[in-house]
Amino acid sequence: MVAQNIIFGFIASIVALSAFRTVTTRNIVHAALYLVAVLAGLGALYVMLTAEFVATTQFLVYIGAVMVLFLFGIMLTRAPLGHLDDLTGKQWPVALGVATTLGAVLIYALVDAFHAAELPTDPVIYRTADVGDSVFSTYLIPFEAVSVLLLAALIGAVVLARKD
Protein backbone atom coordinates (compact mmCIF):
# COMPACT_ATOMS: atom_id res chain seq x y z
CA MET A 1 0.00 0.00 0.00
CA VAL A 2 3.05 2.30 0.31
CA ALA A 3 3.27 2.89 -3.44
CA GLN A 4 -0.44 3.75 -3.57
CA ASN A 5 0.00 6.22 -0.70
CA ILE A 6 2.94 7.95 -2.38
CA ILE A 7 1.08 8.22 -5.71
CA PHE A 8 -2.06 9.43 -3.95
CA GLY A 9 -0.05 12.11 -2.12
CA PHE A 10 1.59 13.20 -5.37
CA ILE A 11 -1.69 13.47 -7.31
CA ALA A 12 -3.54 15.07 -4.41
CA SER A 13 -0.87 17.76 -4.00
CA ILE A 14 -1.04 18.55 -7.73
CA VAL A 15 -4.84 18.83 -7.47
CA ALA A 16 -4.62 21.08 -4.39
CA LEU A 17 -1.94 23.31 -5.89
CA SER A 18 -3.79 23.65 -9.21
CA ALA A 19 -7.04 24.42 -7.40
CA PHE A 20 -5.26 27.17 -5.44
CA ARG A 21 -3.74 28.64 -8.62
CA THR A 22 -7.16 28.52 -10.35
CA VAL A 23 -8.52 31.12 -7.93
CA THR A 24 -5.34 33.18 -7.46
CA THR A 25 -4.02 33.57 -11.02
CA ARG A 26 -4.72 36.88 -12.77
CA ASN A 27 -4.91 35.37 -16.25
CA ILE A 28 -8.33 34.04 -17.15
CA VAL A 29 -7.14 31.36 -19.61
CA HIS A 30 -4.50 30.15 -17.14
CA ALA A 31 -7.27 29.82 -14.53
CA ALA A 32 -9.22 27.57 -16.92
CA LEU A 33 -6.11 25.49 -17.69
CA TYR A 34 -5.39 25.03 -13.97
CA LEU A 35 -8.98 23.83 -13.61
CA VAL A 36 -8.23 21.25 -16.32
CA ALA A 37 -5.30 20.04 -14.18
CA VAL A 38 -7.64 19.75 -11.16
CA LEU A 39 -10.18 17.69 -13.13
CA ALA A 40 -7.47 15.46 -14.67
CA GLY A 41 -6.04 14.84 -11.20
CA LEU A 42 -9.48 13.82 -9.93
CA GLY A 43 -9.75 11.44 -12.90
CA ALA A 44 -6.43 9.89 -11.85
CA LEU A 45 -7.77 9.46 -8.30
CA TYR A 46 -10.83 7.63 -9.68
CA VAL A 47 -8.44 5.26 -11.49
CA MET A 48 -6.70 4.61 -8.15
CA LEU A 49 -10.11 3.70 -6.70
CA THR A 50 -10.48 1.17 -9.59
CA ALA A 51 -13.46 3.14 -10.93
CA GLU A 52 -12.39 2.92 -14.55
CA PHE A 53 -15.73 3.92 -16.09
CA VAL A 54 -16.09 6.99 -13.85
CA ALA A 55 -12.53 8.08 -14.66
CA THR A 56 -13.11 7.74 -18.41
CA THR A 57 -16.38 9.67 -18.14
CA GLN A 58 -14.55 12.38 -16.17
CA PHE A 59 -12.09 12.80 -19.05
CA LEU A 60 -14.68 12.65 -21.83
CA VAL A 61 -17.28 14.94 -20.24
CA TYR A 62 -15.36 17.36 -18.03
CA ILE A 63 -12.12 17.84 -19.95
CA GLY A 64 -13.13 16.89 -23.49
CA ALA A 65 -16.43 18.77 -23.49
CA VAL A 66 -17.04 21.12 -20.53
CA MET A 67 -13.55 22.64 -20.29
CA VAL A 68 -13.24 22.93 -24.07
CA LEU A 69 -16.57 24.81 -24.08
CA PHE A 70 -15.34 27.00 -21.17
CA LEU A 71 -12.19 27.93 -23.08
CA PHE A 72 -14.23 28.39 -26.27
CA GLY A 73 -16.55 30.82 -24.49
CA ILE A 74 -13.69 32.73 -22.83
CA MET A 75 -11.74 33.08 -26.07
CA LEU A 76 -14.83 34.09 -28.03
CA THR A 77 -15.53 37.02 -25.64
CA ARG A 78 -12.50 38.40 -23.80
CA ALA A 79 -9.20 36.60 -23.44
CA PRO A 80 -6.23 39.00 -23.39
CA LEU A 81 -2.81 37.36 -23.19
CA GLY A 82 -1.59 39.42 -20.21
CA HIS A 83 -3.00 39.82 -16.70
CA LEU A 84 -6.47 41.12 -15.88
CA ASP A 85 -6.32 43.28 -12.75
CA ASP A 86 -10.02 43.01 -11.97
CA LEU A 87 -10.12 39.21 -12.21
CA THR A 88 -10.14 38.77 -8.42
CA GLY A 89 -13.45 40.29 -7.26
CA LYS A 90 -13.98 42.41 -4.12
CA GLN A 91 -15.98 39.67 -2.40
CA TRP A 92 -13.12 37.20 -2.13
CA PRO A 93 -13.07 37.23 1.73
CA VAL A 94 -16.75 36.17 1.74
CA ALA A 95 -16.03 33.45 -0.82
CA LEU A 96 -13.12 32.25 1.30
CA GLY A 97 -15.43 32.01 4.32
CA VAL A 98 -18.04 30.03 2.36
CA ALA A 99 -15.41 27.68 0.92
CA THR A 100 -13.83 27.05 4.35
CA THR A 101 -17.22 26.33 5.95
CA LEU A 102 -18.21 23.97 3.13
CA GLY A 103 -14.86 22.17 3.33
CA ALA A 104 -15.18 21.81 7.12
CA VAL A 105 -18.72 20.40 6.84
CA LEU A 106 -17.63 17.89 4.16
CA ILE A 107 -14.57 16.76 6.15
CA TYR A 108 -16.69 16.40 9.31
CA ALA A 109 -19.32 14.38 7.42
CA LEU A 110 -16.71 12.05 5.88
CA VAL A 111 -14.84 11.49 9.16
CA ASP A 112 -18.13 10.98 11.02
CA ALA A 113 -19.36 8.45 8.45
CA PHE A 114 -16.21 6.36 8.00
CA HIS A 115 -14.07 6.99 11.13
CA ALA A 116 -10.87 4.99 10.66
CA ALA A 117 -12.21 2.55 8.04
CA GLU A 118 -9.50 1.41 5.62
CA LEU A 119 -9.78 0.57 1.94
CA PRO A 120 -9.47 -3.18 1.28
CA THR A 121 -5.92 -4.02 0.22
CA ASP A 122 -7.27 -6.19 -2.56
CA PRO A 123 -9.91 -3.89 -4.03
CA VAL A 124 -12.94 -5.15 -5.92
CA ILE A 125 -12.75 -4.20 -9.58
CA TYR A 126 -16.08 -2.86 -10.79
CA ARG A 127 -16.66 -3.83 -14.40
CA THR A 128 -18.47 -1.50 -16.76
CA ALA A 129 -21.26 -4.08 -17.05
CA ASP A 130 -21.79 -3.83 -13.24
CA VAL A 131 -22.15 -0.05 -13.57
CA GLY A 132 -24.70 -0.50 -16.36
CA ASP A 133 -26.65 -3.10 -14.38
CA SER A 134 -26.92 -0.93 -11.26
CA VAL A 135 -27.86 2.20 -13.24
CA PHE A 136 -30.75 0.34 -14.89
CA SER A 137 -31.94 -1.53 -11.78
CA THR A 138 -31.10 -0.07 -8.35
CA TYR A 139 -30.68 3.54 -9.48
CA LEU A 140 -33.24 3.57 -12.30
CA ILE A 141 -35.47 6.32 -10.85
CA PRO A 142 -32.64 8.75 -9.93
CA PHE A 143 -31.13 8.12 -13.37
CA GLU A 144 -34.40 8.97 -15.15
CA ALA A 145 -34.92 12.00 -12.89
CA VAL A 146 -31.47 13.33 -13.81
CA SER A 147 -32.19 12.92 -17.52
CA VAL A 148 -35.45 14.89 -17.15
CA LEU A 149 -33.50 17.57 -15.26
CA LEU A 150 -30.94 17.78 -18.07
CA LEU A 151 -33.72 18.05 -20.64
CA ALA A 152 -35.23 20.92 -18.65
CA ALA A 153 -31.83 22.65 -18.56
CA LEU A 154 -31.48 22.19 -22.31
CA ILE A 155 -34.91 23.69 -23.03
CA GLY A 156 -34.16 26.52 -20.61
CA ALA A 157 -30.95 27.34 -22.46
CA VAL A 158 -32.80 27.39 -25.80
CA VAL A 159 -35.49 29.69 -24.37
CA LEU A 160 -32.88 32.11 -22.95
CA ALA A 161 -30.82 32.16 -26.16
CA ARG A 162 -33.72 32.73 -28.58
CA LYS A 163 -34.00 36.26 -29.89
CA ASP A 164 -37.77 36.29 -30.63
Q: Which is nearer to other proteins, 15 or 43 (CB)?
A: 43
* Residue-wise burial string across 67-83, b where 16 or more C-beta atoms lie within 10 A, e elsewhere: beebbeeeeeeeeeeee
Q: In angstroms, how far apart are the furthest CA atoms of the chain?
A: 61
Binding site for other proteins (CB under 8 A): 27, 29-30, 33, 36, 52-53, 56-57, 59-60, 63-65, 67-69, 71-72, 75-76, 79, 81, 127-129
CB-nearer residue toward other proteins: 82 or 89: 82
H helix runs in 25-139, sequence order: 28-48, 52-57, 68-77, 92-114, 128-135
For 16, the enclosing helix (H) or strand (E) is helix 2-24
Nearer to other proteins, 76 or 117 (CB): 76
Q: Shortest distance, CB of residue 55 to other proteins, whole angstroms? A: 8
Q: What minimum distance in Å lies between the beta carbon of 52 and other proteins?
A: 5
**Closest approach of Cβ 138 to other proteins, in Å?**
20
Closest distance between other proteins and the C-beta of residue 86, in Å?
19
Task: Give the Cα separation of 60 and 95 in Å (integer).
Answer: 30
